[in-house]
Structure 1
Amino acid sequence: MSKKQIIMESALELFAKQGFEATSVQQITEHSGISKGAFYLSFKSKDELIMALIDQFMMQFISDIDHIVNDPNNSGEELLVKFFYTTFYSFQKHSDFAKIFIKEQAHTFNEELISKGRHFDQLIDDITLSMLDQLYGETIQHTKYDLIYCIKGFMHVYSHLFLFFNVPLDLDLLCRSLAEKTELLAKHSTIPFITDELYEMFRKTGHEEMTAGQIIEIMEQKIEELEDSIEKESLVLLKQDVQELSLSPAIVKGLITNIRNNPHCSWIAFLLLNYYEV
Structure 2
Amino acid sequence: MVKKQLIMEKAIDLFAKQGFEATSVQQITEHCGISKGAFYLSFKSKDELILALIDHFMMQFTADIDYVVKNTKDDEKLFHEFYYTTFNSFLKHSDFGKILMKEQSQSFNKELLIKMQSYDKLYEKSIMTMIDRLYGDEIEHIKYDLMYCIKGFTSTYSHLFLFQNVSVDLDLLSQSLVEKTHILAKHTTIPFISAELVHMGRLPIDDSVTKEQILEVVEQKIEEIEESIEKESLVLLKEHLVEPSLSPAIIKGLLENIRNHPHCKWISYLLRNYYKFY
TM-score using structure 2 length = 0.86
Paired with 1:90 and 1:229, the residues of 2 have a C-alpha distance of: 25
Q: What secondary structure sits across from 1:70 in the alignment?
A: helix
8 Å contact from structure 1 (residues 122, 203) kept in 2 = no
Amino acid at match of 1:18: Q
| % identical equivalent positions | 61
Which residue, 203, 209, 216 being the options, matches 1:211? Answer: 209
Paired with 1:52 and 1:122, the residues of 2 have a C-alpha distance of: 18
**Which 5+ residue runs of structure 1 have no aligned equivalent?**
none
Amino acid at match of 1:211: V
Paired with 2:238 and 2:176, the residues of 1 have a C-alpha distance of: 43
Paired with 2:259 and 2:169, the residues of 1 have a C-alpha distance of: 30
After TM superposition, the structure 1 = structure 2 runs for residues 19-58 of structure 1, keeping only pairs within 5 Å, are: 19-58=19-58
Amino acid at match of 1:21: E
Match of 1:130 in 2: 129
Amino acid at match of 2:60: Q
After superposition, the Cα gap between the structure-2 partners of 1:144 and 1:203, relative to the gap in structure 1 and judged at 3 Å, is farther
Match of 1:157 in 2: 156
CA-CA distance at 1:169 after TM superposition: 2.7
Paired with 1:266 and 1:219, the residues of 2 have a C-alpha distance of: 11
Match of 2:111 in 1: 112
Is 1:144 the counterpart of 2:143? The answer is yes
Paired with 2:186 and 2:201, the residues of 1 have a C-alpha distance of: 26
Q: What secondary structure sits across from 1:156 in the alignment?
A: helix
Match of 1:12 in 2: 12
CA-CA distance at 1:265 after TM superposition: 1.6
Match of 1:183 in 2: 182
After superposition, the Cα gap between the structure-2 partners of 1:227 and 1:33, relative to the gap in structure 1 and judged at 3 Å, is same
Q: What secondary structure sits across from 1:23 in the alignment?
A: coil
Match of 1:86 in 2: 85
**Which 5+ residue runs of structure 2 have no aligned equivalent?**
none
Moved more, 116-125 or 224-233: 224-233
> What is the CA RMSD across the aligned residues, in angstroms?
2.6
Match of 2:99 in 1: 100
8 Å contact from structure 1 (residues 68, 74) kept in 2 = no
Paired with 1:203 and 1:122, the residues of 2 have a C-alpha distance of: 13
Paired with 1:151 and 1:276, the residues of 2 have a C-alpha distance of: 29
After superposition, the Cα gap between the structure-2 partners of 1:70 and 1:248, relative to the gap in structure 1 and judged at 3 Å, is same
After superposition, the Cα gap between the structure-2 partners of 1:43 and 1:123, relative to the gap in structure 1 and judged at 3 Å, is same
Amino acid at match of 1:101: L
Moved more, 183-192 or 12-21: 183-192
8 Å contact from structure 2 (residues 72, 78) kept in 1 = no
CA-CA distance at 1:46 after TM superposition: 0.7
8 Å contact from structure 1 (residues 119, 206) kept in 2 = no
Amino acid at match of 1:6: L
Amino acid at match of 1:275: Y
Provide, for residues 184-216 of structure 1, a one-character-per-residue CA deviation record: whole Å limited to 9, x for no partner.
1223334444445555x4597422224334333
After superposition, the Cα gap between the structure-2 partners of 1:202 and 1:245, relative to the gap in structure 1 and judged at 3 Å, is farther
Match of 1:270 in 2: 269
Match of 1:172 in 2: 171
CA-CA distance at 1:269 after TM superposition: 0.9
Paired with 1:41 and 1:79, the residues of 2 have a C-alpha distance of: 44
Paired with 1:277 and 1:108, the residues of 2 have a C-alpha distance of: 35
8 Å contact from structure 2 (residues 68, 82) kept in 1 = yes
CA-CA distance at 1:58 after TM superposition: 1.0
Paired with 2:245 and 2:206, the residues of 1 have a C-alpha distance of: 27
CA-CA distance at 1:20 after TM superposition: 1.1
Moved more, 29-38 or 259-268: 259-268
Paired with 1:264 and 1:11, the residues of 2 have a C-alpha distance of: 18
CA-CA distance at 1:245 after TM superposition: 6.5
8 Å contact from structure 2 (residues 240, 246) kept in 1 = no
8 Å contact from structure 1 (residues 16, 100) kept in 2 = yes
After superposition, the Cα gap between the structure-2 partners of 1:249 and 1:133, relative to the gap in structure 1 and judged at 3 Å, is farther
TM-score using structure 1 length = 0.86
